Amino acid sequence: DLRGAALKGDAYAPVPWETALSLPRSPPSSSSRSLGATAMRKRRLQQAKDNPGDSSSNSSEVTDEGLPLVVTVRLARCKMPYRWREPLPPFVSILNHVGALHLDSDARRLDHATVTVLRRALSSDEVQDESWLSSSFIDLVLSRYARRYPNVHFMPVEFAAFRLKTMQTVDMFQATDILGQRIDYNMRKPVVFLANIANMHWNLFRVQHWPLKELQLFEPMGKPATRHGVSLRYIPKHIIHWLDTVWPLGSEAESWLFRSCSAITTQHQLTGFDCGVACILYAEKCAQGLMKEDIDDSTKQSDFTQFRQDLQRRLSELESLDASLAEATVAGSGGGGGG
Nearest of 206, 339, 197 to residue 263 by alpha carbon: 206
Q: Is residue 332 part of a domain?
A: no
- The answer to whether residues 238 and 164 touch, using CB atoms and an 8 Å cutoff, is yes
User: How far is Cα 257 from Cα 240, in angstroms, rounded to an integer?
Assistant: 6
Q: Is residue 203 part of a domain?
A: yes
| Burial degree of 27 (CB within 10 A; 0-12, 13-18, 19+) | exposed
User: Distances in Å between the alpha carbon of 124 and those of 117, 128, 181?
Assistant: 15, 7, 30
The pLDDT, as a whole number, for residue 9 is 37
The pLDDT, as a whole number, for residue 168 is 94
- The domain of 127 spans 89-100+110-326
**Which residues neighbour 45 within 8 Å (Cβ) at sequence distance 6 or greater?**
none
Q: Is residue 126 part of a domain?
A: yes
The pLDDT, as a whole number, for residue 122 is 55
Q: Is residue 61 part of a domain?
A: no
Indicate the number of domains in the chain.
Answer: 1
29-35 contacts at long range (C-beta below 8 A, 24 or more positions apart): 32/73, 33/62, 33/66, 33/69, 35/73
Q: Is residue 43 part of a domain?
A: no
Count CB neighbours of 84 within 10 A: 14
**E strand or H helix at 217, and its extent?**
strand 214-218
Q: Is residue 25 part of a domain?
A: no
Return the CATH number at 139: 3.40.395.10
Q: Is residue 30 part of a domain?
A: no
Q: Is residue 83 part of a domain?
A: no
**pLDDT tens series, the chain, 339 aa:** 444 443 443 333 344 444 444 444 444 444 444 444 566 666 666 666 666 655 444 444 444 444 444 445 445 545 555 555 467 788 999 888 776 666 555 544 544 555 555 555 555 566 677 888 888 889 989 999 999 999 999 999 999 989 999 999 999 999 999 999 999 999 989 999 999 887 788 999 999 998 889 999 999 999 988 888 787 788 989 999 999 999 999 876 789 999 999 999 999 999 999 999 999 999 999 999 999 999 999 999 999 999 999 888 887 777 676 566 556 666 666 654 443
**Which residues neighbour 76 within 8 Å (Cβ) at sequence distance 6 or greater?**
2, 6, 20
